[in-house]
A and B are shown apart, each in its own frame.
Chain A
Amino acid sequence: MDMDRVDQIIDKHRGEASSLIQVLLEIQSEYHWLPKEAVQRVSEKLQVPLSRIQHIATFYKAFSLVPKGRHEVHICMGTACHVRGATRVLDTVQDLTGIKPGETDMDLKFSLETVNCLGCCALGPVIEVDGKTHGKMSPAETAGVLKNYE
């Protein structure tokens, strides 16, 4: 893997241990996960023990120690979205992608997660793909949205 990019990220934060989480976040958004080589590099350069990084990387849901898909789909299961049919939206996404919440498909195209309220209940049912919000989803519209991602 390309360590230059990891080094760049570390250097940007002047290799300071206090920037650990920021560094990990940037690596995560670059690769969609935290590859082991990258984590080891961070550990060496920031002088933070691997066990500490491992704790942080497993503590926050924003990090993943296994590869994630190119697109992250978040389906809101909050109360408002739930009563407006979030379950049917979730079923549709599961059918189309073949994965359940917490999983990633074999082609590394989608990763699926459920969340509890994205804070825009009036738009429910809401799904979020790569941070972009799609509101008032029906199963058919959900299928339409997912088609746009390669």
Chain B
Amino acid sequence: MSEIRLQIDGKEVKAREGMTVLEAARSEGITIPTLCHHEKLEPFGGCRICIVEVDVRGWTRLVVSCIYPVAENLVVRTRTEKVDRIRKMILELLLAHAPDSPDLQNLAKTYGADRDRFEKEASFCIHCGLCVRYCAEVKKKDAVGFIDRGIRKEISFIPEIAAKECWNCKECFPLCPTSYLQAAYVLTEALAFPSSSSEAVSEE
């Protein structure tokens, strides 16, 4: 695999072909914030918080670094005024849905995002898809998926699969930036298979 040289925030960075800008930056210890990215999962590009500025053939463009491939001589800037402004806006929009998410609040501090800028519509899930994709791609269980679309989109457990698989796994729980996932699981359990976890506890 050929080596690619690019520049990130003024620093010369070496990367392998096929790497994303995010991977190249991280390998050099340059931080780019992410919400929907996970090393074990296929690139998704859903949240857009990882947006960066690049120069391609004399043009400045905004690209999504977790899916944008590195290229020879690419010039990347991860913290310009414009980038910061967009990240702030994304955070403010997400905070209207999940105002108490620690991940969002940490980022909000960095980018000066105002938690109360938009009217709250606490749906808690920010549609990062980490839970859905982790269950499908890594665990291959497909116990949780999305339903509906647009503003009504939400996650939904398949009770039959969740009853069998989730109690002993729960690997997706820490991935969720808002804890909504745990809540949805407990609700599913309470509604669809209320006895199973108490049985599991009493067996232990």
Do the two chains belong together in a single complex? Answer: yes
A-side residues, CB < 8 A to B, are 49-52, 54-55, 58-59
Residue numbers in A under 8 Å from B146 (CB-CB):
51, 55
> Does B142 contact A58, Cβ atoms closer than 8 Å?
no
CA distance A86 to B135 in the complex (A): 47
Instruction: Give Cα distance in the complex from A54 to B147, angstroms.
Output: 6
Report whether A52 and B148 are in contact in the complex, using a CB–CB cutoff of 8 Å.
Answer: no
Is B161's CB under 8 angstroms from A50's CB?
yes
Q: Can you pick out 5 interface pairs between chain A and chain B where the beta carbons lie within 8 Å of each other?
A: A49-B142, A50-B160, A51-B136, A54-B156, A59-B147
Q: Report the tally of A-B residue pairs with Cβ distances under 8 A.
A: 34
Tell me whether B61 is interfacial, beta carbon within 8 Å. Answer: no
Q: A58 contacts B158, CB within 8 Å?
A: no
Cα separation A65 to B148 with both chains bound (whole Å): 12
Identity of the chain A residue whose Cβ is nearest the Cβ of B149 in the assembled complex: A59
CB–CB A58/B161 < 8 A: no
Interface flags for B128-148 (1: CB within 8 Å of A; 0: not) read 000010011000001111111
B148 x A58 contact (CB < 8 A):
yes
Contacts of B135 in A (CB 8 A): 51
Asked if B145 and A52 sit within 8 Å, CB to CB, the answer is yes
Expressed in whole angstroms, the Cα–Cα distance for A59 and B145 within the complex equals 12
Dominant secondary structure at the B interface: mixed
Among B136, B147, B160, B161, the most chain A Cβ lie within 10 Å of the Cβ of B147
Q: List residues of B (97-151) whose CB comes within 8 Å of A's CBs.
A: 132, 135-136, 142-149
A52 to B160, CA, bound (A): 15
Residues of A within 8 A of B160 (CB): 50
Query: Which residues in B have some Cβ–Cβ distance to A below 8 Å?
Result: 132, 135-136, 142-149, 156, 158, 160-161
Whether A58 touches B147, Cβ cut-off 8 Å, given contacts A51-B142, A52-B142, is: yes
A51 and chain B: residue at smallest CB distance: B145
Complex contact A51–B144 (CB within 8 A): yes
Contacts of A51 in B (CB 8 A): 132, 135-136, 142-146, 156, 158, 161
Contact A50 B147 (CB under 8 A): no
Give the chain A neighbours of B148 by CB distance below 8 A: 58-59
Residues of chain B within 8 A of A50, CB atoms compared: 142, 145, 158, 160-161
User: With A and B bound together, what is the CA distance between A18 and B160 in angstroms?
Assistant: 25
Q: Which residue of A lies closest to B142 (CB)?
A: A49
**Given the complex, which residues of B lie within 8 Å of A55, measured CB to CB?**
145-147
Shortest beta-carbon distance, B94 to chain A, in Å?
21
In the bound assembly, the distance between CA atoms of A55 and B132 in angstroms comes to: 11
- The complex places the Cα of A55 from the Cα of B145 at a distance, in Å, of 7
In the complex, the chain A residue whose C-beta lies closest to that of B161 is A50
Q: How far is the CA of A52 from the CA of B142 in the complex (A)?
A: 8
User: Contact between B147 and A49 (Cβ–Cβ < 8 Å)?
Assistant: no
Q: Which among B142, B149, B161 has the greatest number of chain A C-beta atoms within 10 A?
A: B142
Smallest CB gap from B144: residue in A: A51
> How long is the Cα–Cα vector from A49 to B143 in the complex, in angstroms?
9
CA distance A81 to B72 in the complex (A): 58
The answer to whether A54 and B158 have CB atoms under 8 Å apart is: yes
Question: In the bound complex, what is the Cα–Cα distance between A58 and B155 (angstroms)?
Answer: 12
CB distance from A43 to the nearest CB of B (A): 9
Chain B residues lying within 8 Å of A54, measured Cβ to Cβ, are 145, 147, 156, 158
